[in-house]
């Protein structure tokens, strides 16, 4: 345990919701909590909903009905639950209507604030507008918006009506947006005339119109006026301005009495091949899991202000909205990029809004590191209490930079990994356990996670598959119109066990590490290794800002490692530097894992939520014509750079 770098102070332990939860149930350790929750999921999730103080318009008569097997659990059977009523009405009725629910900041510096009472009123008006446009229970509504003041009310209005919203990444092109609208058979689209990105106007309505030409199910369009451009394309009778239709609707209307298992969201995740997968989430599923994760891992409470750098189209957008508001906290939404107009934009935002819980991806941390810590030191970040990170495995150097430069060595980093289909995290950290760099302290409370070998046997001290042995609240209710694909993806490897698709490792002290996607695994001379291990060795070289490792066919070894590196500013990417990086990796990992080559590129192909697409790197480097689903790719030019490196 010599590499423990953070231990909870008495203040963190005293404040902890998770500690109080354990004490309330007579559990003297987190290990005891994990054991009881794994043995009796129904007990755990009923304890969670009671602890969260949720309102049910009709009580459930059974917590868990597993008659259809672990892939198809029925939670809160017979219960009536509307998550939006719990996000808004419950707090207003409880006397917290004046508390700040939402703070929005645009890239241009504009800001807006909503109290809980104001957000409830705007949500009711937006719901009325959707009804005018013909939306009723079960209808699908595409939301093709960046983070704007109207984004949260649009999302919440759908849930209030019992409609189903489809979040669509604001950076998608027409074909990617249309694919999701068509698969969901959306009836209405909510979009904007445009938004700001790096000081430039992005004409979102033009993209939306091109998508709608390919999506005939969409009958009406509600348009947020963000840029106010007079040349905004328009279809009379179909298109309606938000600021003309919404304000005239009633500011009070009851939430629909939805069922606990009623679908409220379809969120699409890109597949390696084939069409995107539509994860189905229900009213008493995803929102409860999001709130529980925030409460137990991040210790979010009503006095917290949470900001997670995300887009609505990535799971963390819906997660932040539902979870923060269920807990009665304050949510910050930001329209722009983390380094515009200067590399301190995030730190300005934290200081201005006194953010207490900050979440960004390891990729963003690596990018901001390149600008130097002086940009961080200019700002008062003393409000920060918890740092969060998700999206990619960490490397030690950026983890340490985030911990020391942003958190001042006093804030825990809640490493958090799960996915769209699981409503949040499978593994994470808490604010009341010691931390090692880059690690997870274990499964998120309520998740019966394990690491197993190729035969499904538990394994420790070696890389294995991350699996879950019990159902949990928040797991997807299958894929939209494709239940067999859901079963094939997660339940076909081992009987009655969810196989998540990540490599993981549990060390001798019980700390967990994610080693990357199992379909990204490297098998070099008989040794199986996750790409994160190779990449961490590469970025240990002071000239490397970021790295991605792939395996390519090799006549002797079977597979050889190629490492693509982004050099730090001011470093010359030549053959000498490539050889140095090779030696750095070899010293750390051994000669068997010496890279066949180190290639320098200006950028790596990634999604806007910062995930590096290693399968795309491998395909481009090998000259494959079909690179699979590229709809989430933000920077197509990176593929050309990879191909040129062959």
Question: Tens digits of per-residue pLDDT, 56-92?
Answer: 999 999 999 999 999 999 999 999 999 999 999 999 9
- The token pair at 262 is 């009623």
Residue 157 · residue 123 · CB < 8 Å: yes
Question: What is the DSSP secondary structure assignment for residue 254, as one 8-state letter?
Answer: P
Give 606's Cβ-side CA count (13 Å radius).
17
Please list the residues that pair with 453 across neighbouring strands. Answer: none
Measuring CA to CA, which residue among 180, 172, 125 is closest to residue 153?
125
Question: What is the DSSP secondary structure assignment for residue 328, as one 8-state letter?
Answer: T
- The token pair at 278 is 């539509």
Residue 473 · residue 73 · CB < 8 Å: no
Question: Using omega within 30 degrees of 0 as the cis cutoff, is the peptide bond preceding 482 cis?
Answer: no
Question: What are the residue ranges in the chain where pLDDT is below 50?
Answer: 272-273
Residue 233 · residue 203 · CB < 8 Å: no
Please list the residues that pair with 502 across neighbouring strands. Answer: 517
- Tokens 């059974």 locate to 62
Residue 605 · residue 641 · CB < 8 Å: no
- Strands across the sheet containing 442-443: 417-419, 424-428, 442-443
Measuring CA to CA, which residue among 49, 10, 33 is closest to residue 446?
33
Residue 192 · residue 226 · CB < 8 Å: yes
Residue 12 · residue 386 · CB < 8 Å: no
Q: What is the pTM of this model?
A: 0.86
Q: Give the pairing of strands 220-224 and 111-115.
A: unpaired
Per-residue confidence (pLDDT) for residue 367, from 0 to 100: 85
Distance CA 56, CA 238 (A): 37
The terminus-to-terminus CA distance of the chain in angstroms comes to 43
Per-residue confidence (pLDDT) for residue 273, from 0 to 100: 46
H or E element: which one contains 294? Answer: helix 286-296
Q: Which residues contact 644 (CB under 8 A, 6 or more apart)?
A: none
C-alpha to C-alpha distances, 455 to 452, 505, 510, 520, nearest whole angstrom: 7, 16, 22, 19
Helix, strand, or coil here: 113? strand
Torsion 361-364-369-372 (CA) sign:
negative
Domains of the chain: 521-644 (3.30.300.30)
C-alpha to C-alpha distances, 586 to 398, 516, 618, nearest whole angstrom: 21, 20, 21
Distance CA 621, CA 640 (A): 9
Q: Which residues contact 496 (CB under 8 A, 6 or more apart)?
A: 69, 70, 71, 469
Q: How many CB atoms lie within 10 A of CB 173?
A: 14
Phi-psi domain of 165 (left: phi exceeds 0; alpha: psi -120 through 50; beta: other):
beta
Distance CA 626, CA 273 (A): 9
Residue 604 · residue 645 · CB < 8 Å: no
Give burial (CB, 10 Å; 0-12/13-18/19+) of 50.
Answer: exposed
Strands in 215-283 per DSSP E:
220-224, 239-241, 263-269, 277-282
Torsion 384-386-389-395 (CA) sign:
positive
Per-residue confidence (pLDDT) for residue 607, from 0 to 100: 77
Distance CA 519, CA 521 (A): 6
C-alpha to C-alpha distances, 274 to 179, 186, 626, 633, 641, nearest whole angstrom: 11, 20, 11, 15, 25
C-alpha to C-alpha distances, 411 to 299, 443, 488, 524, nearest whole angstrom: 12, 20, 41, 38
Query: What are the tens digits of pLDDT across the range 179-225?
Result: 899 999 999 999 999 999 999 999 999 999 999 999 999 999 999 99
Query: What are the tens digits of pLDDT across the range 145-187?
Result: 999 999 999 999 999 999 999 999 898 888 888 989 999 999 9
Phi-psi domain of 481 (left: phi exceeds 0; alpha: psi -120 through 50; beta: other):
left
Question: What is the DSSP secondary structure assignment for residue 256, as one 8-state letter?
Answer: P
Per-residue confidence (pLDDT) for residue 270, from 0 to 100: 65
Strands in 27-154 per DSSP E:
62-65, 74-77, 100-105, 111-115, 140-143
H or E element: which one contains 362? Answer: helix 362-369
Q: Give the pairing of strands 220-224 and 239-241.
A: parallel
Query: What are the tens digits of pLDDT across the range 266-319?
Result: 999 865 445 788 999 999 999 999 999 999 999 999 999 999 999 999 899 999
Helix, strand, or coil here: 443? strand
């Amino acid at each position: 345990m010599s590499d423990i770098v953070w231990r909870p102070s008495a203040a963190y332990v005293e404040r902890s919701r998770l500690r109080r939860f354990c004490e309330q149930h007579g559990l003297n350790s987190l290990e005891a909590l994990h054991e009881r929750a794994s043995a009796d999921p129904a007990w755990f999730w009923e304890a969670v909903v009671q602890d969260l103080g949720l309102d049910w318009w009709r009580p459930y008569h059974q917590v868990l009905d597993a008659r259809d097997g672990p892939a198809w659990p029925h939670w809160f059977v017979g219960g009536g639950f509307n998550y939006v009523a719990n996000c808004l009405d419950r707090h207003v009725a409880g006397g917290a209507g004046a508390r700040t629910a939402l703070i929005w900041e645009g890239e241009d510096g504009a800001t807006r604030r909503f109290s809980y009472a104001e957000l409830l009123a705007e949500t009711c008006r937006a719901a009325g507008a959707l009804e005018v446009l013909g939306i009723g229970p079960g209808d699908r509504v595409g939301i093709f918006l960046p983070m704007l003041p109207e984004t949260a009310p649009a999302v919440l209005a759908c849930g209030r009506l019992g409609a189903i919203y489809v979040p669509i990444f604001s950076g998608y092109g027409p074909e990617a947006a249309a694919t999701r609208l068509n698969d969901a058979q959306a009836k209405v689209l909510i979009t904007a005339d445009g938004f700001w990105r790096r000081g430039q106007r992005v004409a979102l309505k033009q993209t939306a119109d091109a998508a709608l030409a390919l999506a005939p199910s969409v009958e009406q369009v509600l348009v947020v006026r963000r840029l106010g451009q007079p040349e905004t394309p328009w279809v009379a009778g179909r298109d309606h301005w938000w600021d003309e239709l919404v304000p005239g609707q009633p500011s009070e209307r009851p939430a629909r009495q939805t069922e606990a298992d009623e679908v409220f969201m379809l969120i699409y995740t890109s597949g390696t091949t084939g069409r995107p997968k539509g994860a189905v989430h229900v009213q008493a599923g995803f929102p409860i899991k999001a709130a529980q994760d925030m409460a137990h891992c991040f210790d979010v409470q009503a006095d917290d202000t949470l900001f997670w750098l995300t887009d609505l189209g990535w799971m963390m957008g819906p997660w932040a909205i539902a979870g923060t508001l269920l807990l009665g906290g304050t949510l910050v939404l930001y329209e722009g990029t983390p380094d515009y107009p200067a590399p301190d934009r995030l730190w300005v935002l934290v200081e201005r809004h006194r953010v207490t819980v900050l979440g960004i991806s390891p990729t963003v941390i690596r990018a901001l590191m390149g600008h130097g810590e002086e940009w961080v030191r200019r700002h008062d970040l003393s409000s920060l209490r918890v740092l969060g990170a998700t999206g990619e495995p960490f490397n030690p150097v950026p983890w340490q930079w985030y911990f020391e430069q942003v958190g001042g060595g006093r804030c825990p980093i809640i490493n958090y990994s799960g996915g769209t289909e699981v409503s949040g995290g499978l593994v994470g950290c808490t604010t009341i356990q010691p931390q090692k760099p880059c690690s997870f302290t274990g499964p998120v409370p309520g998740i019966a996670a394990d690491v197993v070998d190729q035969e499904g046997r538990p394994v420790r001290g070696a890389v294995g598959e991350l699996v879950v042995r019990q159902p949990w609240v928040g797991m997807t209710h299958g894929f939209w119109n494709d239940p067999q694909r859901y079963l094939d993806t997660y339940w076909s490897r081992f009987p009655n066990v969810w196989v998540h698709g990540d490599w993981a490792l549990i060390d001798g002290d019980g700390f967990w590490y994610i080693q990357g996607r199992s379909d990204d695994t490297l098998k070099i001379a008989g040794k199986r290794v996750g790409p994160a291990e190779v990449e961490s060795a590469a970025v240990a070289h002071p000239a490397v800002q970021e790295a991605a490792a792939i395996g390519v066919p090799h006549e002797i070894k079977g597979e050889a490692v190629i490492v693509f590196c982004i050099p730090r500013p001011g470093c010359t990417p030549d053959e000498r530097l490539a050889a140095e990086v090779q030696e750095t990796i070899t010293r750390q990992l051994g000669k068997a894992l010496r890279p066949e080559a180190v290639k320098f590129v200006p950028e790596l192909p990634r999604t806007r939520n910062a995930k590096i697409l290693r399968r795309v790197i491998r395909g481009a480097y090998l000259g494959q014509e079909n690179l699979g689903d590229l709809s989430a790719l933000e920077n197509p030019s990176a593929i050309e750079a990879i191909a040129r490196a062959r």
